[in-house]
Each structure stands twice: as structure tokens, then as C-alpha cells.
Amino acid sequence: MASVRSAKLAVRGDCWSAAKMISWHTPYNRLLHLSLFFAVLPWLYSYFNEQHRIQSYSVEQALMISWDKIITQPTILFRRAVIGINCNVDLVVSGTGLLERMNATSHKRDDHQVLNNVDDLYEAFAYFFSRGAAAERHTSDEKTFQTLVQTAGESRQRPHYYIGGNAALMAEKIATAFPRTTAYLVGPIGPRSQALLHPSIVRTNSTLIVKDEVHVIMEYKQGEILGEYVAPASSRFITSHDQYSGSSVVIEMFFKAIAQFNPDIIILSGVHLLQNQNREMRMEKLRLIKRNLMQVNRNTPIHLELGSIGDADHVAEVLNRIVPHVDSLGLNEQELAFFSHVANGPYTDLYPIAPGAVHVHKVVEMLYWLLTTYGHDKSDPESKNYKYKLSRIHFHSLTFHLMVYRGTDWSNLAAALAAGAKVAGRQACQISGGDMNTDNLELRSSMSVLLDKEVEKSYNFEPQKPIASWMRKDVVFIFTPVLVCKFPTKTVGVDDAISATGLIYSQFYRFERSCYGSFNLSLERFNVAEIMQSSTLSLLWREDSRCRTHICLRINRTVVMRRLWYPAVIAQRGVRQRRSPAAKPVDWLQESATYVDAHTAVVDPFTSSPYPEKDVLEILKNADAKSLSEHRKRMIEKHKKRKLTQLNFDHIPIEEQIVVLFPGQGAQHVGMGSKSMDCPEASKLYDEASEILGYDLKKLCLEALRLVDARAKAMHECNQRISSGMLTVRVSAISRLDEAMADARNLAKEKGELALCEVSNYLFCGAKVVGASATCLQFLEDNQERYAFHVVKRLPVSGAFHTRLMDGAIEPMRKALKDSKVWVIVCMKYFNVVDVRGRAESSHQLKTRFSSGVTLMAPRVNVYSNYTGKVYDRKLAEIRNSIVKQIASPVKWEQILQLLYRKHQDYKFPTYMEVGPGRQLGAMLLQVSKKAYKHYENVAA
């Protein structure tokens, strides 16, 4: 027992000593705890500080940072790229300004496959302009195209010259953003193209041409107005008259360069340009391309970059002959929808698509159909798809991007998708690489998106997790939203930059097992470290001893080749790119660059030039002084003309400005404004005015102004011709309202009635008012599902106002405007009898002016016309003409709203004040911008 007791005491003593060691008051433990505390404190500070910093970012900045974390360099980099076959000079101008300069007008909009004259150009441009969709069409008449180029090149159009063509643009992006990859460009290169191309791009002399091929890029911005149409998104329309890009010589030189240059990747573009040739010639060249594609080494990936195609037959030929024999495909929503439309894929009725209007799950369905129908399928060696190569599709639209792949040949595709998405908005806004400013970028995606109906996959947006991926059978999908540039400076070339960036960040390797159990892999482009880091090679190294021998032999050959061959190549490349600081401008730069090129490169902040600024300035100094002085004179005249057209209130802060909105006659009623008579001062003012005028002004204002009464009587007479009315409709990208109205007019003609059915009011984007006869209105209501639009309601009006039915009211209105008494009433009603100096006139002065007649005076504020959708001209004759013609012309309220919305500065808006009963105009402003609507007020009459 004593021994047990002693043992217990010993244990108890040990526990006590241990407790003393753990005790905080022990000097040793106190120091240990303090060191632990001071070690944890910085970590906690950095952690919570990082969380606070992340929360302080905007959604756009957080999205950019998340992409940067995802973007990783590929283990196996493409070192050499051969790119062809189209190259040209892009002449970038404002599309609406160019059409206005060429006096192009038409009442139709139609998708012409080929443009034969200026009217065809206007109709095709208006067709895609109203949808905000990019398109490219060929101009068949050389004389018409030369006139177009000459007009676009005038200084008043502010033309900009850039390198153009899908192949050249992708080569340019690779050369500027990926210096470790050498780009070899094959295409028709003229003098100006030679000057605009990046110096590091390797070119072939066999495809040099004397005169550049020019593409006219007619760009437009969101909210821009063309006649009665408003652009829902920023985009461009391209027209050309190429002679060399689709020639057999260029195609043959392209595949010859592949054999000589031994590239790691091949990029083919410009196939869409073949649609401009006759069928026999086109088929021969497609067969030539297909034959050469099938002869390319299977270990070298081939990427096909599509362009806008309008010919359905050519789309079918490309889809069946070219697409299955490339490894990768890059396309946008227009090209994908046209593929599905022509080949009877899913959602065939979506073409043409408005940017941002297509649902993700519909795109996913079409991409799955495209890859499974025309892509490689290794599961069935007996099927035709077993011999196909397509295994990767990079889809890009305005608001989201998708990467789709099948098999194991491609990897690092999430990084490739993020890199392409990041470059999209930055390229359109011309934001430099290190600039984190995202004020000009915005996210146009809902917080929850249905990605795939088949597997019930959805995506809830989180800025820290911008990538979503899933599988449908053996097909992998990767999705990311995209930041959209609010005010793009240049839209052409964005698709090519996205595809080129995503392609270089992708990784490709393909193994083919031979009868000896070895694997063939083109290793010449990899260094040894990159080879051994490959997960696939590591797996083979562990599992197959025969492969180890084969891989070692290939690595040894790679090392020997690099030691013997690479120093010579690097030296040669250095000689080609090296340039003496004291060297003079090269002759071909002096001969090919013009004053416009040099001026653009020096003055335009969004133009990048790969050549020394000193050389370009030297060319600028040699410009003709006379041309410079003429340019200044034209700019001064243009400024004076603009000054006469609009009044400038920029000296007033934008938040202190007021925009007054007046509703139409439909919102008015007899007796409105009667509450103002409760004010003694207002009643006294009306009594004094009635005494001076000799009639009861109060009664006249409460019942109807004489001018309004004259207009109403004239319009009533027009309404007696036929029973008519108006209805409000909602349209979308797939709506065919124009076709429905045309069919309604044909029905009225068959019944022997007046064929009246046209848009009478443009309310806001997607909402219109149609004025038509009773027969046409009934036809529209009965067939709204057939033409994919929605009838909201019939308006409680007695006729089709603001249509050609009101033509008979124009002359009575014109006559009424000549009555000076009418103008006195108008001035008293709307201007409170205030003269141009802003002082109230006395009774004697008013009597004098009344007896001598009242002259219509230019407005002292900017007044927007319903007839033109723009600010009234300060010429009095133009004002009278617009007031008269608006009776029989559609109300362009949507166009006016877009101009009013643009008045904001850094999201500081003026006050929008609606004067009159109801809040109809405010509701329309809400449809345009929620931010602008926050500054809306209503003043009830």
C-alpha cells in the first residue's frame, strides 16, 4: 500500500509540475504564448484586410481579378503559327455618317447576300443595324465600291486605317501579345498593309500585291439613330470587293508555307470570302482546301476562324467539307445560328440573333449538336465521325463565352476561356494591359442563368467564381460571363483577338499508338522540362516500358536539334528585328504610308503603331501644308454649322440641367389645367390677357387652342376615309413585324380597301405603336404568334394618327401656321409672353406686336422634334416644315430617349421632368435606363 501511495504521489507531483509548465504565469510559457500571439496577429490582420479589400472592389474589378487567378500559361506553348488566308486594310468610318454623305435612302431593310448598288447597301446595313448584329457583305459592282471607298476616305468622315482581315488581325494579336510565338502570315499584302503589320510577323513575298484590298468598316454605337431605327448594341457592318483573298494562288501558298515553316499550330480564316465567287469556282477551291487539310500532319492542330456568311449554300458546303477536318473552331452567335438554321439543327428560327438576346441554354444545345454531328467520335470506328477531327469549339458572344471540347487532345481550356473573356471588353474599350480601370466596363448578365436544360445545370453569378463547367455525356462545357464595353471605340477585330488569345493559351497534344506499342508525339516544339511536366507523358512513363524507350529517343533528338538549329534561328530572327537607332525610315514605309496613316498613328490615342514615332513624325512633316490648311478650314466650317444647329449648355453642370418631357395629345383632356384657376394671381393674369386680346383666353386654354383645334378638325376629316385605329406591340430579335405588316397590307388590297399598316410611334426598344386599317389590325391580332410578336393592347383612339392616312391634314395645318394670331396664342400658352431677353412685356408692347404680327423666332433652348428624332434646326423654315410633316410621320420618341440618355456624364444625369397628366414618358425612360429614371419627376397639370 505504501508503494501504491508513493506512486500516486509521484504521479500527482508530475501532473503538478506539468500544470506549472502550462501555466501562463510561468516565465517560459508566458514568452511562448506571447510569441504565438504575435505570430498569429499579422496573419489575422492580413486575412481580414484582404477580405475587406476584396469586398471594396466593384463587380467588374473582382471579375477581372478572378480571371487573372484562373489564367495560367500552358505547359506546352505553341512556338510557331501559320495564319492565312485573308489580309486587307480596314477603312473604319461611322456607318450612319457615310450613308448620309452618300444620300442613301430607302424605306426597306433587307438582308441582301450581295450588294449591287447604294440602295442595297442601305437596306442591308439597316437590317443588321436595327438588330445590333455584325455582318459582312460583298459589293459586286466595282464602280459603286470605289465610290464608297472614296467617300469614306474624305476627311469629314474622320476615317481611320487599320490592318484588317481575320488572318492578319489574329497574326497581329499574336505578335503583340505573345512574343514567344512567331506568326507567319500568308495573304494578299499590299503597300499599306505592309506598313501597318507588326514588324515581327513573318511574311511571304509570293503573295505581295501592288494595291491593297480595302474593306469599308461601317461602325455604329449603341443608341445611334438611322432614320427610324435605333441600334440596340454597338457593332459594325463590313463591305468589300476582294479579288485576291480567295484566289487559288493564295490558298496554295498557304499550304506551301505550312510544309516549309513546320508550324505548331495552323490558323485558317477567310473561307467566308469564297461565297462571292460563282459556284463552280467556289467548289473547286473548297475541294482544294479540304484536300490539303487532310494531308496535314495530324499532330499539328488546325483552327478555323469563321466570318460572316450570307449564302446558305456556301454555309452548307463549309459545314460539310471544311469543319469536320479541322481540330478547332471559333465562331459567334450569328454564325452558330446560321449553321443550325441551314443544317436543320436545334432552334432553327433564331437566325438572325440580336447581341445579348440569345439564351445560354439554346447556345449550349446548338454547340452540342454541332460538335456531336461534325466532330470526332472515337467510340465507333465504323462511323464517319471517327475520321473527323473537330474536338474544340470556342464560342463568343456579347455577354458570355463558352468553350466546348471532346476527348483528351486539348487542355488548359479554362485558362484559355478566361483569357479570351478578359480581352473582349478591354479590346473594345482600348484599355491597356496593366490598367485596372473598369469604369467603362459593365456586366450584362443576370444573377442566375440556366446553362443546360438536359442536365438541369444552372449558374449563380459570383465575381470570385466566374467559371462554370459541366459534362453532357462525353462533351465538356465551360462557361463564363463577359464584361461589355459601354462606349466601344472600335468593334472590328474583337472576335479575332478573343479567338487568338484563347488559342495560344490552349494546350494541344495527341498520341497515336503504333503496332509496336510506341506513341508518336511532335516534341520538337517543347523543351525537356515542359515534356516531363506533361501529366500524360508521366503516366505513360510509369505504365509502359516500351514507351519510355521511344520517348527518350524523341527527347534526345529534340535536344540535339535545339543545340544545332535554334542558335541559328535566334540569330536570324534578331537580325530581322534589329534596327539601328540612327537608321533612316525604310523606303517601303516612306512609299506606302500616307498622311492619313501618319496622322492617325500620332494623333489618335487608340491607334497603335509598331514603328518608331520619329519615323512616323518625319512622314507627317512631309505632308502638304495646303492639305493641312484645307483640313482646318473644313473643321472650322463644320464647327460653325454645328453651332448654328444646336445650343451648347456645357457651361452648366449636367446635374443642374433640366429636360422637360411633354406627353402627346392622347394624354390630354378637356379641362386639364383648371386647378391653376384656383390661384388668384393666375386668374388675374388671364383676365388681363383677355382684355388685351379681345377674347376669353381662359376659356380658350381650358377647351382647346385654336391651332390644336385646326389640327384636330383636319385629322378628323382624314379619319373619315376608312375605319382605322392603333395598337401597341412588343417585338424581339426573332419577330417579323415588317413581314406581318406587309401581309396585312396585301390582305387589305385583296379586299379592295386602303392598304394602311405601318409603324406610327417608336416608344422604346422593343415597343412600337402600329397604325392601320381595321382589317389590318385584326390580321395582326390574329397572327401575332405566327410572326413572333406580342400585341399589348388596342389604343382608345379614333384613327391611325401619324401615318400616311393623315396626309390630307398637312396643307390645312400649313395654312393655319401662317395665321399670326395663332402664334400669339402659342407664345402666350407656352412662353408666358416672355421675350427673347426674358422680360415680361407690358400691355402696350403686346398690343403693338399683335397689330404688327408675330414672327416665329428661333428657340432659346434645344427642342427635340418628333418628326426627325433630333434637335430642331434653328432655321425657321425647317421648324415650320417639321411641325407640319410630323402629322403624317411616325413619332420617333425612342430615338429622342436615346439622345437624352447620352447626356449623362459619369452617371450624373439631368433632371427629367414630365409635364402633364400621367407618367407614361417616365415609364418609357425607365425601360431605357433605371439610373436615369432615378432623376425623373412628374409635374401634373
Q: Each residue of 178-217: pLDDT tens digit?
A: 999 999 999 999 888 888 899 999 988 888 888 888 999 9
Q: Give yes or no for residue 31 having a pLDDT over 60.
A: yes
372-387: pLDDT as tens digits: 999 998 888 888 888 8
Per mean pLDDT, which range of 270-274, 388-392, 807-811 is the poorest?
A: 807-811
Query: Is the peptide bond preceding residue 605 cis, with omega within 30 degrees of 0?
Result: no
Q: Give yes or no for residue 905 having a pLDDT over 60.
A: yes
- pLDDT band (50, 70, 90) for residue 816: confident
Q: What percent of the chain has pLDDT over 70?
A: 72
> Given this model, what pLDDT does residue 675 score?
66
> How many residues are present in the chain?
941
> Given this model, what pLDDT does residue 589 score?
39
Rounded CA gap, 651 and 155, in Å?
Answer: 29
42-73: pLDDT as tens digits: 777 777 766 666 666 778 888 888 898 899 98
Q: Give yes or no for residue 498 having a pLDDT over 50.
A: yes
Top-ranked range on mean pLDDT: pick from 19-23, 492-496, 588-592, 768-772: 768-772
Q: How do strand 265-269 and strand 302-305 relate by DSSP bridges? A: parallel
- Cβ–Cβ < 8 Å for 517, 546: yes
- pLDDT band (50, 70, 90) for residue 173: very high
Rounded CA gap, 121 and 139, in Å?
Answer: 8
- The b/e string for 465-495 (b: 16+ C-beta within 10 A; e otherwise) is ebbbbbebeebbbbbbbbbbbbebbbbbbbb
Output the 3-class SS for 369-382. Answer: HHHHHHCCCCCCCC
Rounded CA gap, 386 and 302, in Å?
Answer: 17
Instruction: From residue 117, give the alpha-carbon distance in Å to each of 121, 122, 141, 143, 214.
Output: 7, 9, 7, 9, 18
> Mean pLDDT across the chain, nearest whole number?
76
723-750: pLDDT as tens digits: 889 999 998 767 788 889 989 999 999 9
387-441: pLDDT as tens digits: 899 999 999 998 899 999 999 899 999 999 999 999 988 888 877 766 666 777 8
> Given this model, what pLDDT does residue 435 score?
62
Q: Give yes or no for residue 139 having a pLDDT over 70.
A: yes
Per mean pLDDT, which range of 10-19, 74-83, 198-207, 672-681 is the poorest?
A: 10-19
Rounded CA gap, 229 and 921, in Å?
Answer: 19
Q: Helix 279-295 crosses helix 312-321 at what angle (to 10 degrees)?
A: 20
Per mean pLDDT, which range of 11-25, 344-358, 581-595, 914-928 is the poorest?
A: 581-595
> Given this model, what pLDDT does residue 630 score?
59
Average pLDDT over residues 492-515: 81
Catalytic residue positions, numbered: 496
Cell numbers standing for residue 260: 516549309
Rounded CA gap, 611 and 627, in Å?
Answer: 24
Q: Give yes or no for residue 35 having a pLDDT over 80.
A: no
Q: 618-627 long-range CB contacts below 8 Å, 24 or more apart?
A: 618/585, 619/585, 619/589, 619/590, 619/593, 619/595, 620/595, 623/595, 623/598, 623/599, 624/595, 627/595
Average pLDDT over residues 616-636: 55
What burial class does residue 93 get, using C-beta atoms within 10 Å of its C-beta: 0-12 exposed, 13-18 middle, 19+ buried? Answer: buried
Helices then strands, counting H and E runs in the chain, come out as 34, 33
Q: What percent of the chain has pLDDT over 90?
A: 21
Euclidean distance between the first and the last CA atom of the chain, given in angstroms as a whole number: 108
Q: How large is the C-alpha radius of gyration of the chain?
A: 35
- pLDDT band (50, 70, 90) for residue 563: very low
> Given this model, what pLDDT does residue 348 score?
84
147-160: pLDDT as tens digits: 899 888 888 888 88
- pLDDT band (50, 70, 90) for residue 128: confident
> Given this model, what pLDDT does residue 303 score?
96
Choose among 525, 509, 521: nearest CA to 562.
Answer: 525
- pLDDT band (50, 70, 90) for residue 661: confident
Element (H, E) at 680: helix 680-693
* Greatest Cα-to-Cα distance within the chain, rounded to the nearest angstrom: 137
- pLDDT band (50, 70, 90) for residue 622: low
Q: Facing residues of 138 across strands? A: 114, 240
Instruction: From residue 586, give the alpha-carbon distance in Å to each of 208, 274, 582, 611.
Output: 17, 35, 12, 10
For the chain, which domains are there?
80-510 (3.40.1190.20), 513-561 (no CATH)
> Given this model, what pLDDT does residue 593 score?
41
Q: Facing residues of 512 across strands? A: 520
CA atoms within 13 A on the CB side of 805: 31
Per mean pLDDT, which range of 319-328, 379-388, 636-645, 930-939 is the poorest?
A: 636-645
Average pLDDT over residues 474-495: 87
> Given this model, what pLDDT does residue 222 score?
79
- pLDDT band (50, 70, 90) for residue 907: low
Per mean pLDDT, which range of 170-179, 327-336, 565-574 is the poorest?
A: 565-574
- Cβ–Cβ < 8 Å for 760, 890: yes
Q: Which residues touch 407 (CB under 8 Å, ≥6 apart)?
A: 376, 378, 391, 474
Q: Give yes or no for residue 877 having a pLDDT over 70.
A: yes
664-677: pLDDT as tens digits: 765 565 556 666 66
> Given this model, what pLDDT does residue 799 score?
86
Q: Give yes or no for residue 493 having a pLDDT over 90.
A: no
Average pLDDT over residues 33-40: 76
Taking the model in full, what pTM does it have? 0.62
The edge-to-edge listing of strands for the beta sheet with 658-661 is 658-661, 911-915, 936-939
- Cβ–Cβ < 8 Å for 419, 427: no
- Cβ–Cβ < 8 Å for 165, 270: yes
Torsion sign (Cα): 46, 48, 53, 59: positive
| CB neighbourhood size of 637 (10 A) | 11
> Given this model, what pLDDT does residue 641 score?
57
Q: Is 18 helix (H, G, I), strand (E, B) or coil?
A: helix
CA atoms within 13 A on the CB side of 78: 33
What burial class does residue 235 get, using C-beta atoms within 10 Å of its C-beta: 0-12 exposed, 13-18 middle, 19+ buried? Answer: buried
Q: How do strand 767-773 and strand 135-139 relate by DSSP bridges? A: unpaired
| CB neighbourhood size of 411 (10 A) | 19
Per mean pLDDT, which range of 80-89, 540-549, 822-831 is the poorest?
A: 822-831
Q: Give yes or no for residue 573 having a pLDDT over 70.
A: no
- Cβ–Cβ < 8 Å for 212, 191: yes
What burial class does residue 52 get, using C-beta atoms within 10 Å of its C-beta: 0-12 exposed, 13-18 middle, 19+ buried? Answer: exposed
> Given this model, what pLDDT does residue 614 score?
55
Rounded CA gap, 444 and 482, in Å?
Answer: 8
Torsion sign (Cα): 15, 21, 25, 26: positive
- Cβ–Cβ < 8 Å for 219, 132: no
- Cβ–Cβ < 8 Å for 88, 215: yes
> Given this model, what pLDDT does residue 43 score?
77
Q: Give yes or no for residue 367 having a pLDDT over 60.
A: yes
What burial class does residue 734 get, using C-beta atoms within 10 Å of its C-beta: 0-12 exposed, 13-18 middle, 19+ buried? Answer: middle
- pLDDT band (50, 70, 90) for residue 558: very low
Choose among 225, 449, 357, 311: nearest CA to 734.
Answer: 357
